[in-house]
Amino acid sequence: MIPEVTITHREKAYALLKEDADKILRLIEVQIENLTMPQCPLYEEVLDTQMFGLSREIDFAIRLNLISESEGKALLENLERQLNILHEAAQNQSSS
C-alpha cells in the first residue's frame, strides 16, 4: 500500500513538470509569433536549452521515484509533438 503522502508528492511532481513543459510551449509560441523564425539560431538555442533543462528535471523526478520513466517519456514526447505542430504552422505561414 502506498502512503497518501507519497501519492500527493507524485501528483505534485507530475503537475510541476507538466507546468514547466507548458511554459516551454508558451515561450516558443511567443518566439514564433513575435520574435524569431524557427530557422534562427536564437530560436534553436532557447529550444535546446529549455528542452535539456526539462529533461534533467524529469530524470531527477524519475530517480526520486516521483514519476515513472514512462510518464517522463510521455511528457517529453507530448511537448515535442506540440512543438513540431507549432514549427510546421510557422513554416507554412512563412511559405505563404
What residues contact residue 59 under an 8 Å CB cut-off, 6+ apart?
A: 72
In this prediction, residue 81 carries a pLDDT of 96
Residue 11's pLDDT band (boundaries 50, 70, 90)? Answer: very high
pLDDT at 5 over 70: no
Residue scoring higher pLDDT (86 or 22): 22
Q: Alpha carbon of 69 to those of 4, 39, 74: distances in Å?
A: 21, 32, 9
pLDDT in tens, 45-96: 888 999 999 999 999 999 999 999 999 999 999 999 999 998 888 777 766 5
pTM listed for this prediction: 0.81
Contact 47, 83 (CB under 8 A): yes
Domains of the chain and any CATH numbers: 4-95 (1.10.287.750)
Q: Please give the backbone phi and psi of residue 64, each rounded to the nearest 5 degrees, phi first.
A: -85, 0
